[in-house]
Chains A and B, each alone.
Chain A
Amino acid sequence: MPRGYMGKILRVNLNTKSLKVEPTSEEVARKYLGGKGYAVYLLYKYLKEYEKAGISPKDMDALGSENVLIFATGPGTGVPGFPSSGRYHVMALKSPLTGSIGSANSGGEFGPFLKFSGFDAVVVEGASETPVYLAIVNGEAELRDAGSLWGKNVFDTCRILRNRVNGKNISVACIGPAGENLAYMAGIVNDEHRAAGRTGLGAVMGSKKLKAIVVSGEEKPPVAKPKEFAEVSKRCLDALKTNAVTGVGLPIYGTAILINIINTAGGLPYKNWQTGVNPDAEKISGETLAEKYLTSQRSCWGCPIGCGRVTSVKSGPFQILASEGPEYESVWALGGSTAIKDLDAVVKANHYCDELGLDSISMGSTIAAAMELNERGYIPQEDLQGLDLRFGNAAALVEAVWRTAYKVGFGKYLALGSKRLCEIYGHPELSMSVKGLEMPAYDPRAMKGMGLNYATSNRGGCHVTGYTVSPEILGIPEKIDPLKAEGKAVWVKIFQDFTCVVNSTVNCLFTTFALGMKDYAELLSAVTGWDLTEDEILKIGERIYNLERVIINKYGYDGKDDTLPKRLLEEPMPEGPAKGHITELEKMREEYYKLRGWINGVPTKEKLVELEIEL
């Protein structure tokens, strides 16, 4: 096995309670790296087995025992000196929220500590009848009874399991009540406040009655070329520390610093995307968060950036002694799309999302959709049971979050996500989602590339699949005009492919504000011993993206689903610098498919052969 890997994968079957250790395959790793890429490869193999057994991918139940959940690290994860490699990727065959592939990524310590416990990945099959947790300590894995943990929130679960394992480098990834209650936007939370939030993977864990995974260990991943690695590592760490974004902006202000600039560009969705200009953006901005709420920073393992916020609400009805975040997307979803200008309430709602195990983006966006449905008179008042869902109502926001986690009252509708919610009340067009996944905080009418990215993202409405905000608004690596649709397809494709490399390495996407493909190729080569070029790693990324697309094609997703909500295609932006603009998706998508070698959202046979994808 090449260096960088631990060389072992743990396969857990919850039907039979059996544990099996398998070698990490060098052949697969060379083609798909690790993390997301390796997981996509394994998921495809499961799907083929299911098809052979006569199970149609379309009929697979995301919350059935047939779903498979994979926690995966990559060759960079946990390697001392590999910049910002404290992350892991989680994937599932199917997301309960979207019906597409399940995919999420998280920081903190869990990824590196999983490797230190001796494994590159954990594959979870089947479902337990009673609550269990998985303990992996120094290479030994065991399924244990979680009866006494069921019902507990994320913070208590992390604390209890950390105390139960008497070792070094302990980390807990778990679900809260939202996952146990199968809320479709439940996330997996590790280290109290770090979440693999998107696509409802917490509900998948809940359906398997798997409360948590606790890891601990001291085995470090080896490096193939220590001298070369030390040189490239130093160069990259220096670049991150001296770069104005990763060395100054993110450490001081965190990600919420984006609120003001995205609003100035007219692309900060407000009132469920009715406009892209929020008159109260300043009140929920990164500057305000730093001035009034920030108490300290928290870095993920091995990260010189330290964008994590430790915060408190000092007094008042939303008081919290210590919390973390909210991040930019969470501030926007819980505060911007809902038109809530009380940052106290947003910090509290975000805290509850972590404590109860909910994806703050889908939660906030679903509440915003409910607010619009309610204000337009589409929800019978008896359904709301006194929950006063009007734009700007801070108290209702906070109440709606816990009601969702416990599926109490109107919470049982919110827990379905915005797509189903809006369908139930007869107005599917008000769900601001793609493939059922709520879009994050960038209105593509004000930055066209993001529209194409949202539409073509395999997991649904997602910003971190291909973050063209970087060139369109921030000017990194170069400035392109956000209001022009021309030329965006090539950016989207390259960003999507390169992001697959980052998520398969696995490390933090924020490194790409300072590091490029050449840096990644050199880091990965020095760690693994392979001689990887920029072109090769980009081809690996493209291979991963295409195989992921092959999987979602089997679920019935194709070109008809590579689209955006009607509002973004037909309703011109009413104000701000993007006034009058819609998203010209069709022409961007046509160019994108050509670049991808896809027809109507489906990779051609020639493309798959070119990428050496064996079907």
Chain B
Amino acid sequence: MSVVSVKILLFATLRSKYKTRELAVECDGTLLNMIENASKILGLEFIDDVYDRKEGKVRDDMIIMVNGRNIKDLKREITLKDNDVVAVFPPLAGG
């Protein structure tokens, strides 16, 4: 499997917790591998912050957008490409 390089953006409480706004990560194109590799930079807690190990998928309450599209709306297996931007938001609202 080829290696792709993506940019991860963190927002709100995730940003303040990890004191990081963005980071570049290389991965095999899957979200899980991206999260695992990001946790090597941010710390292992990052995995549990965004990933539900029991369910084997991204946590349902997290808002994860790939190039501005929520992964829940894409309704397909996510395959990341080079230079994709992955925005990770904790649950939030306003108005």
Contacts and interface: CB of A to CB of B under 8 A. Distances in A.
Interface of A: 244-246, 248-250, 252-258, 260-261, 264-266, 286-287, 307, 327-329, 463-464, 467, 469-470, 473-476, 479-483, 509-510, 513, 576-578
Contacts of A248: 13, 90-91
A470 B73 contact: no
A327 B65 CA distance: 24
Given A244-B90, A250-B94, A261 B63 contact: yes
Given A245-B91, A249-B90, 12 more contacts: A245-B92, A248-B91, A255-B95, A260-B11, A261-B65, A264-B65, A469-B95, A474-B93, A475-B70, A476-B93, A510-B93, A577-B68
B12 interface: yes
Interface in B2-45: 9, 11-13, 15-16
Contacts of B82: none
A255 B61 CA distance: 18
Interface residues of B, number: 23
Nearest to B92: A249
Contacts, number: 97
Given A261-B11, A261-B63, A479-B73, A253 B95 contact: no
B89 interface: yes
8 contacts: A244-B90, A248-B91, A257-B92, A258-B94, A261-B92, A265-B65, A287-B12, A327-B94
Interface in B71-95: 72-73, 87, 89-95
A148 to B, nearest CB: 38
Contacts of A470: 93
Nearest to A484: B73
Given A328-B95, A479-B72, A474 B63 contact: yes
A351 B91 CA distance: 29
Contacts of A245: 91-93
Nearest to A256: B94
Nearest to B70: A479
Contacts of A464: 95
B66 to A, nearest CB: 9
Contact of B11 (A287, A467, A479): A287
Contact of B68 (A246, A255, A266, A510): A266
Contacts of B15: 287
- Listed from nearest, the 3 A-B pairs whose CB atoms lie closest are A577-B68, A255-B94, A244-B91
B94 A257 contact: yes
A244 B61 contact: yes
A249 B73 contact: no
Contact of B93 (A258, A479, A480): A258
A256 B11 CA distance: 12
Contacts of A576: 68
A578 B92 CA distance: 21
Nearest to B15: A287
Interface of B: 9, 11-13, 15-16, 61, 63, 65, 67-70, 72-73, 87, 89-95
A482 B73 contact: yes
B61 A467 contact: no
Contacts of A467: 95
Identify the interface centre among B13, B70, B92: most chain A CB within 10 Å of its CB.
Answer: B92
A231 to B, nearest CB: 26
Nearest to A470: B93
Contacts of A257: 11-12, 92, 94
B13 A252 contact: yes
Contacts of A577: 65, 67-69
A286 B61 contact: no
A253 B92 contact: yes
Contacts of B16: 287
B2 to A, nearest CB: 25
A177 to B, nearest CB: 28
A476 B94 CA distance: 12
A252 B11 CA distance: 13
Nearest to A246: B93
B73 A253 contact: no
Contacts of A482: 70, 73
Nearest to B71: A479
A510 B94 CA distance: 7
Nearest to A282: B21
B67 A249 contact: no
Nearest to A440: B95
Contacts of A258: 92-95
Given A249-B13, A287-B11, A479-B73, A264 B93 contact: no
Contacts of A286: 12, 94
A483 B94 contact: no
Identify the interface centre among B61, B68, B69: most chain A CB within 10 Å of its CB.
Answer: B68
Given A249-B13, A287-B15, A479-B73, A261 B89 contact: yes
B67 to A, nearest CB: 6
B95 A510 contact: yes
Nearest to A467: B95
A169 to B, nearest CB: 28
A507 B93 CA distance: 17
Contacts of B70: 265, 473, 475, 479, 482
Nearest to B73: A481
A470 B93 CA distance: 8
Nearest to A291: B16
Contacts of B12: 249, 252-253, 257, 286-287
